[in-house]
Structure 1
Amino acid sequence: MSTVPKRILISLLVFACANQVFAQPPQPAEEMVQLNFPAEVEIKVLIDYVSTALDVRIIYDEQISSKTISVKSATPIPKSSLLAVLNSALKMKGLVLADAEAPGWKRIIQADRMPQVAPSIIPPSTARDRDQAEAVTESFQLNYVDPQKVEPALAPLLTQPGANSIVLPESRTIIVTDYAANLVRIRELIEMLDRPKPTAAMEVVSLRFVDAKSIGEQVTQILQSRLKAEGRLTPSVDLIPDTRSNKLLLIGNKVQIEAAKQIIKTLDVPLGLSTKTYSFEHVSASRIDSLVKDLLDPESGKRMYRSSIDEEENLLVATTTEDIHKQIVQLKDTRDTAPRRGRSPMRFYKVKNLPVRDLLQTIRSIEQQAVSPTEQQTPTLANPQNGRFDVVQQPGVLAANGPATPSGPNAAPADPGFEIPPPPSYRGPESQGPLLHVDTAGSESTAGSLLGKARVTADVHTNNLIVIAEPAVQRLYAELIEKLDQPLPQVLIESRVVIIDTSDNFSLGVEFSSGDRDGGKRLLTFSSFGLSEVDPVSGALSLVPGLGFNGTLVDPDVADVVVRALTTHNRSRVTSAPRVLVNDNAEGQLTSVAEVPFNSINASDTVATTSFAGFAQAGTTITVTPRISDADKIQLDFGITLNTFTSTGGDGVPPRQTDEIRSQVTIPDGYTVIVGGLNRTANSWTFTSMPGIDKVPLLRYLGGNESRDRSSSSMFIFLKPIILRDDKHKDLRFLSERDVKCAGVHPDFPRSEPIWINAPRRSKRQPTGTAARGYARR
């Protein structure tokens, strides 16, 4: 076909199509209505208007007539939108327009019945296709999240009253009933929540220059800080270190793993370390290694300094930075020198405040606790003070011009004519074990490794402690002795003992004598209670004078009568104030004892001998043990024992009664403890008479002897501890001066008196430079 016919055919087709388009009839214009309602109109009026205009049959309750609304429209609106206007007005009043049971009818109900009448939306239709004020029901199928977790997020968005939601966990479905406009927002929220979770990934990162465990902790801390800054609390990625292969296992989503890998890449960089070997002649490699570690920070030293020591060749292999290598070279130049001569390993320490035996026992107990019995320690010939090797001839023998090197950790050098016996706590090299490590000054060298490497003994006569050891060990023992040899604070115990005795005694005795005193045969009757002496011939009573009232009646025709009556009252108070000075945690004792002698009788078949047996003691004993605690408080352990003789026992041995009080209290310095309660009351009544008469109420006093005794004793003890801390004992001197003045005793120090010095004038003839004589007088 030629080109011209083709162009003609195309033109005809375009013309035909254009004629068809323009040939369609025009669409009719939508009918417009103007709403001219009063300012407030009953909603019933709007319902009737819409029902008439749209030819919709609506059923409603007359109770809604009281509800009023305001409908204003300045311009006409489409007639088809009247139903939407009615739905919006009903929604404002809590009402819903729904389909009635009868076909073609609608009804108005309360919004809380919305789930019962709302029609369901059938997919693919959505709430966007419905009137925005229409109540509908829509179901949402969830694919990735649990609907029970989504429902709490939807509850605040539901219209109240009326709207609700139902969860079907089996089918992962949420059914929501609400107005169509609100269902549009709910659909958007559900679509945003129902998304797949990011998949977890795992990667292994190999590390070259850093430790897997340390960098894992560091990266985890960095990620947590970033999450905190972003307002998130859940961990982003887990880092699991594998120390065997020095690898790091990352578990998380891909984005988080990439972020962690970037941080690891930034941190896993070389530190510029190099390895060098150092040899030493006069200083031990371990000593230089210890000094280098002391100079470095503990944290940075672990990363920047690694070392190995060859004990046989005395070599130090160090892997570190160039700056630390320079420090090692400087230490080698200053420490690797020939040892000094003439240094003695023996030192004497003057113990000032403790008995030297006690201090020696304490040091030996520390040495025993510091030594482990399970392992053996290899002795070294290096000096721990500077690490140098001391040249010796043989173990235990002094060098010609240098200090001796002990052959064992506790052995002393042998010197002709001088040898100190080993202390009881000395153990030979075969029993020496490694010592407990005690970190000193943050370094890896231990002070515990030096304990026990000295020979220690005591000189009781001079109270000196003798230590034979190397200088480094000497410094350790010097510090230990200085810490232990501290002056103990003293406590002055002031006690005051007050004893109050009260006694009331009454005695009444009557004796009589009668009978036939004439003739050859005489019948005499008399009573005797020790008030008189009776004449055995005549029966006459001879009065024996005694304390109190004494009376006698002598009548030879009738009878002789002797009467004695006595009453005594005793009141006594005894006060004593002893004081004792004791050291802290020591016991002090105050004793006031009365001694009564007694005899012992040795009897045999033929003879009995009496000999002195000893003394029976009774009195008051007070023991106190103060312990000073923090804040100047004193824990006082005290015991008070009171012994008294109650009467005279058989064979002259007096019976003794003991009362004792023991307690422990804590009181501030200078306060007083009052101990009371040691009270005793004794009542006794003795009546001696003749049988028969003692039953007659009044007559028994005429032929008997009666005595009544009542005594009471009370003791109070006041204990007042005072702490004395002054090293020069000025506080004790001050307290003692008061007692010295009260006793009228001259003090020990002399009194200063003025001295007058007369110096004569120099004579003119006296040569220059000659000293003038002076005269002094007191």
Structure 2
Amino acid sequence: QDPAPTPPPPRPSRLLQRLPVAKIPAPKAPKPNPPPPPAPAAPAAAANPGASPGPSTPAVVELPGEKEFNSCKKLPPGKRIVKLNLKPDTELLDLIGWISSITCSHFLISTPLQGKKVTIIAPQLITPEEAYRLFFAALESVGYTVEPSGKFLRIVEASRARFTTLPFVGANERVPHDKRFITKLVRVSYLDTNDLTNAVLNRLKSEAGDIISYRSSLIISDQAENIERLVSIIKQFDTPSANRDRIWMIRVKNTSAVDMAGRIAEIMPVQQLGSGQRRQPGSPPPAPPKPTPGPPGDLLTEMTITKIVPDERSNSLIVFANQRAYEWLVTLVHKLDVSPEDSVRGGTENRFHIYNCAHANCDELAATLSAITGVQVVGSLAGGPKRRSGGPPPTVAAPTADQQGRSALMFEGDVRITFDAPTNSLLVMSSFKDFQALRRVIERLDAPRKQIFIEALILEVTTDKDRKVGVSYHAGKGQDIAGEKGLLLGGYNANQTLGVAFDPKTL
């Protein structure tokens, strides 16, 4: 330390490395008249970097070990009385010895520093606070940092600092505004942590930093100043996306929800179409969803609906899709879901509805509906096929006054039912809302009947019983006949024995 006036700056022969000195605002000059006494309790901004800056003063980043260094200085703070008189290519150990001469803090060196050299050119006088910042910048330039450890300031490699016992900052805690290595927990709500880490954060962290992604959380170990920047970037990205699937419900007024879902599946790309019915035990599992028709960001991909389930009870569509696909779907449903008066001239043609019976007899089903609802039923059995039940056709009685009154309370308009036996169909003349109410009952009644499967095999068997008793024999002798060898045969009923003897199957 040399409190003498500043000599003219020397001209070095070579410049290996020049490190910028942090600019610390000097203390305000006292007024000329009257001169106030010195105020030791109000040091410069460098003496108290942790204090909150004013509106015009930029925030000063606190360095690791700076608080311990400033708490025990051998020189008065805020005065430019420190001169750096180190030669070029100074060993790092000499630099640590120089900084330790102006403080009472103890330095602990846990890694070998042989061969680590640095050149610092600072011709002017500096304050003790600036001296420590210059010392820390020199350590960072060669890959080292300072970690406070109790009463000691430990010199460690920056690449190994994350393996030490670092301060932990929770998800809801504020990141300190300094350069010390810390571990920060960050919660992510809308993004995939693996994609965010690989695509963005790994390119922004320091070489000594490390990021671990686990489920919807990130564990970041780096300098607090860099972590603060990463957290700000994560907050900008972690917002609700328009491509994120959500559950929507669309009410259908004038059309069946099942028919509407089928029409939408023909127009728009739907990965999975539900039936809207409860799955019965033993039934096959639903078909897997179709793959996405295009790459991410494509218009066809953004319009893809993940799943549609029609709900007949509320006549609504339960949709699982993103925001953009939902908006397109609502527009399409409003175009298709028009009232009968707007779609058909006169508003009468669309009052006729046909239901094809799959399991029940149409005349029996019509009689049941008439007994329940009191609706008048007329029909024709002429030319119809043979009845499944085998009995005579049911007699449909005319509805009584009580049944007619009940029908007026159940339906909003006039309802008439006609059955056609040749096609086994029901024809309902009513409004769409009344037909939807009848259709739910008809589908429950038109269920498969219990049947017995009988398999018969007809076999034809012929049996003969015969018994024969007698004597049969034959004999033979070789004889030359006309100069050639021959055989003489004879016996009683010889055909019985000769047939067996000359049968190829018995030879």
Please report the TM-score for the alignment, with normalisation by the length of structure 1. 0.27
Larger relative contact order (Cα-Cα within 8 Å, sequence gap ≥ 6): 2
Larger Rg belongs to: 1
More strand by share: 1
Please report the TM-score for the alignment, with normalisation by the length of structure 2. 0.38
